[in-house]
Structure 1
Amino acid sequence: MEFFQCVPLNEARDLIAGRLDGITAGDESVCLPDALGRTAAADIISQEDLPPFSRSTVDGFAVRSADSFGANESAPSLFAIAGEVVMGAPSVQELLPGQAVAIPTGGMLPAGADAVVMLEYVEQPDANTLLALKMVAPGENVVTRGEDIQAGSVIVKEGQKITPQYVGVLAACGCTRVLVRKKVKVAIISTGDELVDIQESPKFGQIRDVNSYALEALMSAAGCVVKRLGIVRDSYEEFFTILSEATAKFELVIISGGSSVGARDYTVKAIEALGAPGILIHGIAIKPGKPTIFGMVDKVPVFGLPGHPVAAMTVCEQLVKLAVRKLLGQKQPDGRFLVPACLSRNVASTPGRDDFINVRLWKRQGEYVADPVLGKSGLINLMAQADGMLHIPADKSGLYEGETAEVLLLKEEK
């Protein structure tokens, strides 16, 4: 494949997603607290109704709604107080016409009652008599059995990410264990004679291996189990050996560096040598990240990312995380937040290429303003300064000051 026969970004996404159809990580059963952030491996079905009994949503008196029809402050409905519902205890009495029972919020609705009059709308002339100053409709101030969730219904669909809210629902339904996708096992290989580990002091001409740590953090945050396999020097034999071992033991492999043209870049040659389907993409119409490689060794996706940190992390956000979501069987969008922001200055772009610009965000009169963080793709501090990533589509030649565009949040919303 000739280099820089660049494919459009959307085409690259479709190709990656298509190649990974039907390839998913295994599953495992975990206790409910450990399911947070994981992906459901199967539909989770409720085994019971929620709530398990009809209950009051307010403090007041349980009544038959028909007995209150027409009630108002000048002509209240009269009830005989027949008892009290105790929290945590079943309600055993059956409400007769003309009767009312005191009930707290969350209390079990007695048989025969279908509504609750709030305390604010009643008067008690004596201990046995109640005046309702307002009529109530059937079901008013009441949650009926199974109104929230019915037994046999799906709580969490296969492929959905389990959020804190779902953990609460699962707990309410008594789900103590959840079947989830195993975390994707990711290997990161750094390449280059110029690299040294961060524990070493680089000599002139050397740089610390930034990318493997940054990519490890991104992949860990995406729910993966990550292992850095160290720095591979510019030797085809050494690189081929470690890549072969990585594709045999891991479910996704990321190569930092080695995606550009050069006599000492062996990524393409090694992937092709390991077997079909081999190299599928070498060059994407994107900035930063043009020399990105995507291939597969059997069912294992392999990404060759640029050595420049900002380019590597941009491609990781746009493509590698897509592969992770496919391997996890996630069927909903990635869940990252897009916010509209007004540009503080003109930003140029080249038509035919998707550009991603790091931006800082601040608020003006309740709306976000985006300040581009401009610089070369090798400057790692650019990513750290950025709150979000602005996307300029391939069909545009740039964005103008004052124009509103969507920004992908990279940090927590301000």
Structure 2
Amino acid sequence: MELFQVVTLAEARRMLSRYWPLPGRKEVSLPLLAALGRELARPVVAKDDVPGFTRATMDGYAVRAVDTFGARESEPVILHLVGEVAMGQPAAVTVGPGQAVAVATGSMIPAGADAVVMVENTEILGEGRVAVFRPVAPGQDLVRRGADARAGTCVLPAGRTLRPQDLGILAGLGVTQVTVYEPWRVGILATGNEIVSPDADPGPGQVRDINSYTLAGLVRECGAEAALYGIVPDDLEELTTMVGKALAENHMVILSGGSSVGTRDLTVQVLADLGQPGLLFHGVAIRPGKPTVAAVAGDKMILGLPGHPVSAVVVFRVLIEPLLRYGSYDHLMAKGTVTARLSRTITSIPGREDYIRVRLDKGPDGLRAVPVPGGSSMISSLVQADGLITIPLEEEGLEAGTMVEVKLF
């Protein structure tokens, strides 16, 4: 493959999607609370109806809705009170024509009733009678059996990342153990003779390792596990050894630095020799982040990100995060976006997608997206930003005042 045979972002995503999710991830069985944030490996099918009985959602009286039609303040409907259903007890009484049964929120609805009249709209008259001042419709103020889940139906599909409300429906189904996938494991390497560890005093021409820690934080935000493999100098043998070690211990490996054209840039050479299917692309039509390289070797994925921190973060957000967090690129705009008015005109070059860092300010006309200055080597520009906006591939820029979607960090 030629260096910088640039592909569009859409093409890069299609190439990576052919191999994701990677095969071979292990399944584990976990207690319900331990499974929060983990990805279901098998679908969950309801064994019972939830709820298992039709229940009241208000304190009041279970009635036949038809018996309340025409009721009003000046001319209430009078029903005969024939019993009560206590909380947690079966309904041992039946509602017939012209009858009512007292119920509490959560009580079982007795046979014959199809609605609940709120207690606020009634009055006890004595002698076993109750006045109803407002009509109710069939199904009002009750939850029917199986409304949450029907026995035999799939409640949660395989691949669902479990949220707190998902744990709730599982508990309601009596499921206390679930089969989930182990988290994706991601190995992270920094490359380059100029990179030193954060606890070192940089010499002339050296900088501390920013990317490893930024990328590890991003990986963990996605629910995956991150492992740092340190800093590898510009040495083909040492880089090959460390990449091999990281690949053996992880599902994905991310390298930062060493992906641009240069005599000492070895990432592409190492990735090309890892095995089949091999290099997928080298160069993506985005800014920042153009010199991005990706490869697949067997059941492992390897990505080489540019060394500038902003470039590395942008590439992670648009290429890697959707795979780790959602399993595909189908959820790119599902959440985490706000609409804002662009504070000033920004220009772009057609033929690449530009990702612009912005901060959000409150203006007299609502939220404003204010571009944050700084080159792709400046991590502070990310610290000051609240999110990214995109200038599409075919556009030459965006005018001040344009309403834009801000993808929040």
The within-5 A match list for 1:116-265 is 116-126=116-126, 128-265=128-265
Structure 1 residue 253 displacement after superposition? 0.4
**Distance in 2, Cα, partners of 1:359 & 1:127:** 71
**Distance in 1, Cα, partners of 2:66 & 2:342:** 60
Structure 1 residue 366 displacement after superposition? 6.7
Structure 1 residue 382 displacement after superposition? 0.8
- Counterpart residue number, 2:82: 82
Structure 1 residue 333 displacement after superposition? 1.3
**Distance in 2, Cα, partners of 1:190 & 1:337:** 29
Structure 1 residue 330 displacement after superposition? 5.4
- Counterpart residue number, 1:299: 299
Q: Among the aligned pairs, what percent are the same residue?
A: 43
More moved, 316-325 vs 56-65: 316-325
Structure 1 residue 365 displacement after superposition? 5.0
Are the structure 2 counterparts of residues 51 and 367 from structure 1 closer, same or farther at C-alpha, using a change threshold of 3 Å?
Answer: farther
Q: Structure 2: which amino acid aligns with 1:164?
A: P
Q: Structure 2: which amino acid aligns with 1:364?
A: G
The alignment covers a number of residue pairs equal to 408
Which among 315, 331, 334 is matched to residue 333 of structure 1?
331
- Counterpart residue number, 1:315: 315
- Counterpart residue number, 1:384: 383
Structure 1 residue 160 displacement after superposition? 2.3
More moved, 151-160 vs 234-243: 151-160
Structure 1 residue 331 displacement after superposition? 8.1
Are the structure 2 counterparts of residues 101 and 156 from structure 1 closer, same or farther at C-alpha, using a change threshold of 3 Å?
Answer: same
**Distance in 1, Cα, partners of 2:285 & 2:51:** 53
**Distance in 2, Cα, partners of 1:330 & 1:288:** 22
Structure 1 residue 57 displacement after superposition? 1.2
Q: Structure 2: which amino acid aligns with 1:278?
A: G
Aligned residues of 2:20 and 2:328 also touching (Cα < 8 A): no
Structure 2 gaps, min length 5: none
1:10-47 CA-partner distances (Å, limit 9, x unpaired): 11111111233663633222222222222222221122
1:298-351 CA-partner distances (Å, limit 9, x unpaired): 2211101111001001101111224435xx745851544222221000011110
Are the structure 2 counterparts of residues 24 and 386 from structure 1 closer, same or farther at C-alpha, using a change threshold of 3 Å?
Answer: farther
Is it true that 1:361 corresponds to 2:366 in the alignment?
no
Structure 1 residue 398 displacement after superposition? 0.4
Return the TM-score normalized by structure 2: 0.95
**Distance in 1, Cα, partners of 2:179 & 2:223:** 16
Are the structure 2 counterparts of residues 47 and 314 from structure 1 closer, same or farther at C-alpha, using a change threshold of 3 Å?
Answer: same
**Distance in 2, Cα, partners of 1:202 & 1:127:** 91
**Distance in 2, Cα, partners of 1:20 & 1:136:** 53
- Counterpart residue number, 1:35: 35
Aligned residues of 1:362 and 1:369 also touching (Cα < 8 A): yes
**Distance in 2, Cα, partners of 1:333 & 1:238:** 38
Aligned residues of 2:95 and 2:110 also touching (Cα < 8 A): yes
More moved, 268-277 vs 214-223: 268-277
- Counterpart residue number, 1:397: 396
Return the TM-score normalized by structure 1: 0.93
Are the structure 2 counterparts of residues 8 and 362 from structure 1 closer, same or farther at C-alpha, using a change threshold of 3 Å?
Answer: same
Structure 1 residue 94 displacement after superposition? 2.1
Structure 1 gaps, min length 5: none
Structure 1 residue 401 displacement after superposition? 0.1
Aligned residues of 2:323 and 2:329 also touching (Cα < 8 A): no
Is it true that 1:7 corresponds to 2:4 in the alignment?
no
Coordinate RMSD, CA, aligned: 1.8
**Distance in 2, Cα, partners of 1:242 & 1:300:** 15
More moved, 17-26 vs 44-53: 17-26
**Tell me, what secondary structure is at the counterpart of 1:6?**
coil
**Distance in 2, Cα, partners of 1:370 & 1:53:** 51
Are the structure 2 counterparts of residues 127 and 183 from structure 1 closer, same or farther at C-alpha, using a change threshold of 3 Å?
Answer: farther
1:388-408 CA-partner distances (Å, limit 9, x unpaired): 101111110000000112111
**Distance in 2, Cα, partners of 1:64 & 1:86:** 19
**Distance in 1, Cα, partners of 2:398 & 2:329:** 32
Aligned residues of 1:309 and 1:380 also touching (Cα < 8 A): yes
